[in-house]
Structures are given as C-alpha cells and as structure tokens.
Structure 1
Amino acid sequence: MTTISNTISTASVESRSGRRFVTARRVRAALVAFLLPIGLIATWWIASDRGWLPEQILPSPAYVYSTLVEMIGSGEILYHAGVSLRRVVTGFFFGAVVGLALGMGMGLSQRIDDYVRPLFLAFAQIPTLGWIPLLMLIFGIGETLKIIVIAKGALVPMAMNTSAGIRSVPADLVEVGHALRFTRWQTLRLIVLPGAAPAVFTGIRYGLTHSWTALVGVELLASSEGLGYLLVWGRQMFWLDVVMVAMIAIGLIGFAMDKGLDVSENYLQRWKHGEAD
C-alpha cells in the first residue's frame, strides 16, 4: 500500500513539474517573440524624437497611437475592418470549398489528376494580383471582383495541400479498410480524410493567409472602403499616421486569424499529440 502511495505521489510531483516546465517555456517563448517588436518601436521612437526623418514621413508613435484611439472612438477603423473581414470570409469560403473539392478529385483519381494538374499548375503560377486587370474588364470593380480575387488566393493552396495530403495516406491503412469491407464512402470518411487532415489544415492556413493579402491588394487598386482603401487614402492625403494605423490593423487581424486556426488545429488533433506523449 505504501509503495502504491509513493508511486502516485511521485507521478503527481512529476506531472506538476512537467506543467511548470511547459508554462515556463511558453512564457519564455512569448517574451522572446516580443523582443523584436519592442526593439522596432524603440528605434521608431528614437528616430522620430531626434528628427532623423521629417514628421510628415515618420510620425511619432504617440501621434499614431492618438490617431488609432481617435479612429476606434469614431468607429472608422472598425467599419473598414468589418468590410474587409466580410469580404475575406466570403471569398475564402468559396475558394476553400472549390479548392477542397478539386484537391480531393486530384488526390483520389489519377485520371482527374492527369487531366487537371497541368492546367491547374499553369493557373497557379500567375500571381493572384495578376488576374485583376483581366477580371476588371469582365466584372468591373464591384464586390464580385474582390470575391473572385480572394477566392483564387484560397483555392490554390487548398487544392494543392488537399491533394498531397490524400496521396500521403499510407496504402496499408487503405488495405485495412478493404479487409474490413468498408464502402468507398466509409474508407474516405474513416481513413483517407483523417489521414489527410494535417495537410488540409495547412491548406486552410495558407489559403486564409493568401486570401488576406489578396484582399488588401485588390482593395488598394479597386475599392472605396476597407483597410486597403485606408492605405491608399492615407497616402493620397499624405496622412502617414492613418497609413500606419491601417497597417497595424491589417497585421493584427492577419496574425489573429492565423493564431486562431493554429489553436483550432491543435484542439481538433489533440489525439495526435496524446499519442506522441
């Protein structure tokens, strides 16, 4: 009985030590991650304070912060961020759905892959922003143009990663499904898709990142609202504080979306981490 108690006590101490180690490691990683931004802000502050560049070109951090507070209070930055987020969610949804279907087709069928992949790779080599002049002629500069450009940004990484993920599923697992007399749907649902899930999540993350950058690009060229429009408007009016506020908003929203997907992926695949432990 004493031996069992000692074993449980030792395991409890080791568990607490492990949790403390993980917490300390995360805190240290967070502190290291903040070193570069803090250094850049300090350099920016010194440069503006000593007048290394004119204030019209390099406004002080305090001035940019006051502009940010003012734009949040007036609701201006929130309105433009909301417009951009609505566009990116809509375009990403359509692009991800089409990319997922296309990637599954190329991954599951060699015939579809042989027919589609050469043209698809040629399509993928053209940068997303390179399609804007042609799409402008066809769809104008309305919301349809923006949604198509954003969808294209999501479609390519989604299709490529889904196809690669499906093809990376071990053949032994598929053979197990055949031995258990799974139907094609059961094999797809229980073996192929779970095996391809990491690659699909990678496609989602890359697709969302490409969609966000494509959104900003198309708003720079053809929009009267949104964060990309704020960049152009601030540059035209030579309000560099507004430009910097828009850049900060774009960076923070993009980081938050990527971090949210990272947390979701880790949560949905917690079984995988449990096996590794």
Structure 2
Amino acid sequence: MQRLNTAPRTSAAQSPLFRIAWGVGSIVGFLLFWEVMALLIQHRHLPPPTAVFSAMAREFASGELMFHIGMTLYRVVVAFVIAMLIGSTIGIVMGRNGGIDRFFDTWLILFLNLPALVIIILCYVWFGRTEVAAITAVAVNKIPNVAVTVREGARSLSRDLAEMAHMYRFGWWKTLRHVTLPQLAPFFLASARTGLSLVWKIVLVVELLGRSNGVGFQLGTYFQMFDVSMILAYALAFIIIVQLIEFGILQPIAARVNRWRR
C-alpha cells in the first residue's frame, strides 16, 4: 500500500505544471522580499521592483529596450555561429588525429586560460572599435570551449560503426550524416549550451567597452548616472529574453537530441 501511495506523489512532483508552479512561486516570493526590503531601507540605490518594471515599461514603449536587446542578440547569434563552426571543426580534427591533437593541445590550453578581457582589448586595438572587432572578440573567446568539448566527442566515436560504414561503402557524406554527427550531437549540444551562457556575458563586456548600442552599452551609460532602476530594468529584460531562448529553443532541441536514450 505504501508503494501505491508514493508513486502518484512522485509523478505529480515531476510534472511540468508542478515544476512551473514552484518556479513561479519562488520568483514571486523573491519579488515580495525585494519590495519589502526596498521599503524598509528607503535608498535610491535599492529601488523596489515596481520602479524597475515601470522603467522597463517606459523603455519598451519608447522602442529603446527592444532596439538595444536586438543589437545584442545580433552579436550573440553571429559570434555563436562562427564559434560553433570553427570550434567544432577544430575539435573533430584534433579528436580524430593524434598528431594534430598533441601539436595544438598547448595552444588550446593557452586560449582557454587567456582572460576574455585581454582578447577584447586586443581586438579593439588591432581592428578598431568596429562591429567586426566586437564579434571577433566574442567568437575567439568561445572557440576553445567548443573545440575541447567536441574533441572529447570525436575521441569517443565508435570504431565498430565506422568500420560498418566503410564495409557498406557509405561514402564520406553518408558516414558523416548517419554515423559521425549523431554520435557527436550530445557534445554539440553541450558545447552550445555552455558556450551560449559564456557568449551572453562576453557580449555585454564587449558592448560596454567599445560599442555605441546594445544592452552592455546601456548598462555602462546608466552606471555613469548611478541609475540603478534602469540598470536593473535592462538586466532583467535581458535575463527574460535569455530564459525564453533556453526554454523555448535549447531545451526542446536537447529533448529531441536525447530522445533516442529513452
């Protein structure tokens, strides 16, 4: 009887609506706590959430909010695609060729440990404060992370499946499409999700240092004015967009990629 009573509770606790309810409740609780603390402290550097959402609504109505978020998303998408293509190619080549892997492994470690700020500054010095420099800085910071993850996937490719493809004369295209890429899909997804979280942060720093638009630029502008309401308004709006992309795009893709495991 105890087992029968436990199963429904476990399934209910794992249901999407149950998790959403807990998530929403947690956010509402945090906002209430924030509102109370702001009212108690009464300081201009800790505005209540009502003031922050009011500032966000004004920026949205004027079109400024969506324009700057759009510019940031443009840089994120372009840099992300470039980094994924180059990093995946490097990772596959290094994972399948031991000599190349040993030769370039030190360089990969070097770029992994090179501070993002150094790369950003060097790109602006070498290429000027241009869009090309901004996107290059973001992509260069992301490429080593993608290469390391995909390299591990390339090292773990099944030799039996490769021999089967060779025996049945799949050719390089069919082998890549039906044998290699399906095995690498989880590694592509892992590098995409971890790398995207890194790209979000680096793009803001790039915009703060050398662009005249974007969320990072706006954060820097309102920092100089000590306008905490506007800083939080842009930060929260950007977080909302990132969460929508995570739940609306990345998680469905992850579920599709991992569907064969069920």
Q: TM-score, normalised by structure 1?
A: 0.84
- Per-residue CA deviation, residues 50-76 of structure 1 (Å, 9 max, x unaligned), is 2x151x201121111111111111101
Residue 261 of structure 1 is aligned with which of 245, 250, 256? 250
Name the CA shift for 1:97/1:32 in 2 (closer, same or farther; >3 Å): same
| Aligned pairs for 1:64-143 within 5 A | 64-143=52-131
- Once the 2 structures are TM-superposed, how far is the Cα of residue 215 of structure 1 from its aligned partner? 0.2
What stretches of structure 1 move > 4 A for 4+ residues in a row?
21-24
- Once the 2 structures are TM-superposed, how far is the Cα of residue 237 of structure 1 from its aligned partner? 1.2
Percentage of identical aligned residues: 28
Cα distance in 2 for partners of 1:153, 1:165 equals 20
- Per-residue CA deviation, residues 178-218 of structure 1 (Å, 9 max, x unaligned), is 33344344333321211111111111112222111110111
Give the length in aligned residue pairs: 254
| AA matched with 1:27 | L
**DSSP 3-state at the match of 2:157:** coil
**DSSP 3-state at the match of 1:225:** coil
Q: TM-score, normalised by structure 2?
A: 0.88
* 1:45 equivalent in alignment to 2:12: no
Residues 149 and 191 of structure 2 are in contact (CA less than 8 Å); yes or no, is this contact kept in structure 1? yes
Residues 154 and 206 of structure 1 are in contact (CA less than 8 Å); yes or no, is this contact kept in structure 2? no
RMSD: 2.2
- Once the 2 structures are TM-superposed, how far is the Cα of residue 268 of structure 1 from its aligned partner? 4.4
Deviates more, 1:130-139 or 1:29-38: 29-38
| Aligned pairs for 1:1-277 within 5 A | 21=11, 25-50=15-40, 52-54=41-43, 56-259=44-247, 260-270=249-259, 272-273=260-261, 276=262
Larger radius of gyration: 1
**DSSP 3-state at the match of 1:57:** coil
Residues 154 and 211 of structure 1 are in contact (CA less than 8 Å); yes or no, is this contact kept in structure 2? yes
Residues 12 and 18 of structure 2 are in contact (CA less than 8 Å); yes or no, is this contact kept in structure 1? no
Residues 141 and 223 of structure 1 are in contact (CA less than 8 Å); yes or no, is this contact kept in structure 2? yes
Query: Structure 1, unaligned stretches of length 5 or more?
Result: 1-16
**DSSP 3-state at the match of 2:15:** helix
| AA matched with 1:267 | R
| AA matched with 1:152 | V
